[in-house]
Amino acid sequence: MNWPAFFTMDGHGAYVWGSFGLCFALMAAEVLGLRRRARTARLVRTAMKENT
């Protein structure tokens, strides 16, 4: 495989990698955000159960 050609995408690298990049960056952000949200929700729920 020709790596430099792969990265430059015959001059369209910024466009191609910009598209794939934003897509997977947003997906990763969504997954991480949901993990944090689930953890917080579980903590709050446990705390509320202990208080009642």
Which of 4, 11, 51, 52: binder of other proteins (CB under 8 A)? 11
How many residues at the interface with other proteins, by CB under 8 A? 26
Please tell me the total number of residues recorded for the chain in this structure.
52
Q: Which residues contact 17 (CB under 8 A, 6 or more apart)?
A: 7, 9
Question: Helix (H, G, I), strand (E, B), or coil: what is residue 12?
Answer: coil
7 part of the interface to other proteins, by CB under 8 A: no
Which residues of this chain interact with other proteins, rule CB under 8 A? Answer: 1, 6, 9-12, 14-16, 18-20, 22-23, 26-27, 30-31, 34, 37-38, 41-42, 44-45, 48
